[in-house]
């Protein structure tokens, strides 16, 4: 199996799906001539021409709406946001048009569209360019929300998202683009709505997604070697629909749980996961569930402050030690 | 402007078309009068925005569309739905929130849809349908078809970003879309001149090097002809057009709003009612002996029976089953 980057895995998924279905096209800022702000769409313009790789003006609300309208008229658009920070300008179209059209029309008008682009805090980009917004989108019935953590999942989940008949918000890890991993060639589909056990363990479950999967795995190794705590690491992969069954199964087995995310604590993804756990695994819990999240502040610029604001392996280790009553 | 176009002689060989246009305007008027009655009786809930006074715009413009073309409108869209071919029964049933409605009672007055007619919705966020309709036009160009997308919105929508962003893209990509601004003078209670730096909305098209036209929105024939020109350009690959149809809303913004008050006087409303597109057109037809009073009376009686039937149909229809609450959230 070839080892490629998360970036190239996404590029492969786009190319393969555009080859497979002539109704699939890509639109967004700098996706064509510039080859993508993060080079996810590299070489696609050459292969598919400007008919199917469409550079847009900087008008997120407008081109999100154009994509949704094209989906209503029978196409399968992929709308790239240069980053999900800018998708906030398109929220009306994503929430009020894409998510609700099927319902408002009594089932007549599906909106098969993917909104994709990088999200999550990066390095010293300051408050407006560094935030994890999964929870915002996951709140909305009618949307699916996907956040892959590995190159293989990035490819398989993007291909499934493009084939899905619903609006899918596909949030890539901005800091994961250079991450390398083995990725199956050709037809590799990862179904939406299925979490993945990235490390099997018996003593505590670490639930995470996207960029927090790698630090969670690192923390698990440290906990094993330094504290003899055997952690299971469960990667949600899809935030909505949430794989409640996998969450409950893992926590029922380990009886202890820490939830990690880059987003803010208040009304975050982890808040929903805790709710599922208290209902589905109440009798199995040996300790309160703890959460490791981004600090409840706008992201600071200073390197020193920024480090304090993000989830790190150390913070995850400390949280697991607490739920294991080691401390 | 009104006097000029309304004075134009009608072509007697097109009498059937004229009568059909007249019938559609009258149907919309009678339907909405009946809807107002049902609203007052508490059969229709929520917001209900009437189009009374503006009928010539929807009826005139939709007359030139073909099967396969798509229509998107604002939340004031009963007229467009009926004129495009949805029956009075299913539209009324939707207003009643019944399972026989166009959206099985899940949409309501502001969200009428019929995909088989290319009617892609009433949309209730001001201006949101403008990018959406632009997207449908994008799809037609992408597929190489000669379908066109028609988009209706009020004059208040031109001040928001969605309008600007969408028209700019439609112009860059020469998309087959016709933007029809239904300028009824008021965004709820705010007069056009208090909200817009440019009074002539058609002038906005200059920003995008787009063709535009101002038309008397009280003259169904003038609206039809302007739309005909725009549709021909769009089908021929010459890109979008912005049509400003100057009309007037005789009712309040919605059923729960006053017809006149702080924002406009009763005298102003009465003055505009003299330009009512329905009697104006019937007088024109009668003057040229293309419609007799007897024919008018028979047509009106038939329409009254049609909307009465629609109301009874809606009343007799059942409310959606409780299982319907959770269907249609996601597609398979």
Quote the pLDDT of residue B7: 77
Contact A235, A185 (CB under 8 A): no
The pLDDT score that the predictor gives to residue B118 is 98
Gap between the Cα atoms of A198 and A208, Å rounded: 10
* Residue of A29, A60, A174, A306 marked active site: A60
Distance from CA of B120 to the nearest CA of A (A): 8
What's the rounded Cα separation, in Å, for the pair B108 and A42? Answer: 45
Taking CA atoms, what residue in A is nearest to B144? A51
Using left for φ > 0, alpha for ψ between -120 and 50, and beta otherwise, residue A228 falls in left
Alpha carbon distance B84, A276 (integer Å):
47
| Inter-chain contacts counted by CB atoms under 8 A, chains A and B | 149
Measured at the CA of A316, the angle between CA A315 and CA A320, to 5 degrees, comes to 120
Distance of alpha carbon B104 from alpha carbon A72, whole angstroms: 19
Q: What is the pLDDT of residue B2?
A: 46
SS3 B188: coil
The answer to whether residues A91 and B93 touch, using CB atoms and an 8 Å cutoff, is no
Phi-psi region of A326 (alpha: psi -120 to 50; beta: other; left: phi over 0): alpha
- Going by their DSSP bridges, the two strands A231-235 and A196-199 should be labelled as antiparallel
Q: Running DSSP on this structure, what letter comes out for residue B122?
A: E
Phi and psi at residue A60, to the nearest 5°: -60, -45
Confidence check: pLDDT of B5 > 90: no
Which among A258, A232, A264 has a CA at the least distance from the CA of A246? A232
CA distance B330 to B12: 52
The verdict on whether A209 is a catalytic residue reads: no
**Cβ–Cβ under 8 Å, residues B244 and B214:** yes
- For A222-260, b where at least 16 C-beta lie within 10 A, e where not — what string? bbeeeeebebbbbbbbbbbebbbebbbbbbbebbbbbbb
**What are the distances in angstroms from CA A89 to CA A84, A126, B153, B157, B267?**
10, 18, 21, 17, 42
CB B206 within 8 A of CB B158: no
B46 vs A: CB within 8 A: no
- pLDDT in the model for residue B256: 86
Nearest-by-CA chain A residue for B117 = A108
Contact flag A73-B120 (C-beta cutoff 8 Å): yes
B282 confidence band (pLDDT: 50, 70, 90): very high
Interhelix angle B88-95/B293-316, rounded to 10 degrees, is 50
Q: List chain A residues with pLDDT less than 50.
A: none
Element counts in chain B: helices (H) and strands (E): 12, 8
Sign of CA dihedral A201, A205, A206, A208: positive
Q: What does the pLDDT read at residue B86? A: 98
Alpha-carbon separation of residue B277 from A83, A181, B61, B240 (angstroms): 50, 68, 14, 27
Report the 10 Å Cβ neighbour count for B9: 8
Residues written for chain A: 327
d(CA B186, CA B274): 18
Instruction: From chain B, pick out residues whose CB is under 8 angstroms from the CB of A163.
Output: none
Residue B170 has pLDDT above 80, yes or no: yes
Closest CA to B151 of B173, B139, B166, B140: B166
- pLDDT score of B1 more than 50: no
* Nearest beta carbon to residue A70 from set B121, B135, B328: B135
d(CA B70, CA B80): 11
Is B148 a residue whose pLDDT tops 70? yes
Nearest CA in chain B to A103: B328
Q: Is B148 on the interface with A (CB under 8 A)?
A: no
Is A227 tagged catalytic? Answer: no
Cis bond before residue A241 (omega within 30° of 0): yes
Q: Give the three-state DSSP class for B61.
A: helix
> Which is nearest to A96 in space by CA: B124, B47, B137?
B124
Q: To the nearest whole angstrom, how far is the Cα of B204 from the nearest Cα of chain A?
A: 17
Q: Which run of H or E residues covers position B67?
A: none
Predicted confidence at residue B8, as pLDDT, reads: 86
Identify the pLDDT of residue B4.
67
Question: How many CB atoms within 10 Å of residue B217?
Answer: 32
- Tell me which chain A residues have a C-beta less than 8 angstroms from the C-beta of B131: 61-66, 68-69, 93
Model confidence pLDDT, tens digit, residues B8-43: 899 999 999 999 999 999 999 999 999 999 999 999
3-state secondary structure chain A: CCEEEHHHHHHHHHHHHHHHCCCEEEEECCCCCCCCCCCCCCCHHHHHHHHHEEECCCCHHHHHHHHHHHHHCCCEEEEECCCCCHHHHHHHHHHHHHCCHHHHCCCCCCCCEEEEEEECCCCCCCHHHCCCCHHHHHCCCCCEEECCCCHHHHHHHHHHHHHCCCEEEEEEEHHHCCCEEECCCCCCCCCCCCCEEEECCCCEEEEECHHHHHHHHHHHHHHHHHHCCCEEEEECCEEECCCHHHHHHHHHHHCCEEEEEEEECCCCHHHHHHHHHHHHCHHHCCCCCEEEEECCCCCCCCHHHHHHHCCCHHHHHHHHHHHCCCC
Residue B142 to residue A25, Cβ atoms within 8 A? yes
Contact call for A106 and B328, based on CB within 8 A:
yes
Residue A170 sits at φ, ψ, to 5 deg, of -115, 105
Looking at beta carbons, which residues of chain B come within 8 Å of A59?
161, 165, 168-169
d(CA A19, CA B197): 48
Of B104, B107, B135, nearest to A68 by CB-CB distance is B135
């Amino acid at each position: 199996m070839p080892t490629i980057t998360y970036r190239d895995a996404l590029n492969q998924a786009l190319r393969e799906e555009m080859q497979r279905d002539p109704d699939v096209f890509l639109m967004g800022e700098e996706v064509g001539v510039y080859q993508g702000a993060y080079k996810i769409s590299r070489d696609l313009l050459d292969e598919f021409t400007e008919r199917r790789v469409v550079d847009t003006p900087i008008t997120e609300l407008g081109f999100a709406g154009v994509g949704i309208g094209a989906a209503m008229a029978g196409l399968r658009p992929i709308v790239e946001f240069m980053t999900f920070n800018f998708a906030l300008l398109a929220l009306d179209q994503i929430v009020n048009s894409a998510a609700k059209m099927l319902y408002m029309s009594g089932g007549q008008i599906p909106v098969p569209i993917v909104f994709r682009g990088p999200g999550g805090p990066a390095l010293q980009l300051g408050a407006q360019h560094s935030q994890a917004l999964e929870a915002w989108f996951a709140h909305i019935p009618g949307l699916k929300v996907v956040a892959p953590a590995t190159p293989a999942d990035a490819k398989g989940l993007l291909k499934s998202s493009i084939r899905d008949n619903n609006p899918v918000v596909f949030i890539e890890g901005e800091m994961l683009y250079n991450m390398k991993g083995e990725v199956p060639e050709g037809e590799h589909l990862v179904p939406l709505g299925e979490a993945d056990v990235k490390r099997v363990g018996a003593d505590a479950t670490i639930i995470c997604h996207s960029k927090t999967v790698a630090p969670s795995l690192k923390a698990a190794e440290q906990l094993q070697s330094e504290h003899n705590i055997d952690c299971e690491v469960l990667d949600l992969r899809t935030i909505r629909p949430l794989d409640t069954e996998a969450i409950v199964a893992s926590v029922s087995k380990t009886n202890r749980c820490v939830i990690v995310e880059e987003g803010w604590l208040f009304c975050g993804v982890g808040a929903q996961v805790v709710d599922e756990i208290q209902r589905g695994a109440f009798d199995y819990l040996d300790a309160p569930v703890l959460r490791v999240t981004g600090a409840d502040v706008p992201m600071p610029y200073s390197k020193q402050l920024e480090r304090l604001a993000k989830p790190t392996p150390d913070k995850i280790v400390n949280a697991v030690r607490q739920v294991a009553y080691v401390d | 402007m009104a006097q000029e176009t309304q004075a134009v002689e009608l072509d007697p060989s097109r009498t059937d078309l004229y009568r059909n246009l007249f019938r559609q305007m009258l149907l919309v008027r009678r339907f909405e009068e009946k809807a107002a009655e049902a609203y007052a009786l508490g059969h229709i809930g929520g917001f209900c925005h009437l189009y009374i006074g503006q009928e010539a715009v929807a009826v005139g413009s939709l007359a030139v569309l073909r099967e396969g073309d798509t229509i998107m409108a604002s939340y004031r869209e009963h007229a467009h739905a009926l004129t495009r071919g949805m029956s009075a029964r299913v539209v009324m049933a939707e207003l009643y929130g019944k399972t026989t409605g166009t959206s099985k009672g899940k949409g309501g007055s502001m969200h009428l849809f019929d995909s088989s007619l290319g009617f892609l919705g009433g949309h209730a966020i001001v201006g949101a349908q403008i990018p959406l309709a632009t997207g449908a036009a994008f799809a037609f160009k992408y597929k190489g078809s000669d379908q066109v997308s028609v988009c209706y919105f009020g004059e208040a929508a031109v001040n928001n970003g969605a309008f600007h962003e969408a028209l700019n893209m439609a112009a860059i990509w020469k998309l087959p879309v016709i933007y029809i601004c239904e300028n009824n003078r008021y965004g709820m209670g705010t007069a056009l001149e208090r909200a817009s730096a440019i009074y002539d909305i058609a002038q906005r098209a200059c920003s995008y090097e787009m063709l535009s036209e101002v038309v008397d929105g009280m003259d169904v024939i003038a609206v039809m002809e302007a739309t005909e020109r725009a549709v021909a350009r769009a089908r021929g690959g010459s890109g979008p057009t912005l049509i400003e149809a100057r009309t007037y809303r005789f009712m309040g913004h919605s059923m729960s709003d006053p017809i006149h008050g702080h924002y406009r006087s009763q005298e102003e409303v009465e003055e505009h009612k003299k330009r009512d597109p329905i009697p104006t057109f019937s007088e024109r037809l009668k003057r040229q002996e293309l419609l007799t009073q007897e024919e008018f009376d028979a047509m009106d009686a038939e329409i009254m029976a049609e909307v009465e039937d629609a109301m009874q149909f809606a009343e007799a229809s059942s409310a959606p089953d409780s299982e319907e609450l959770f269907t249609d959230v996601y597609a398979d």
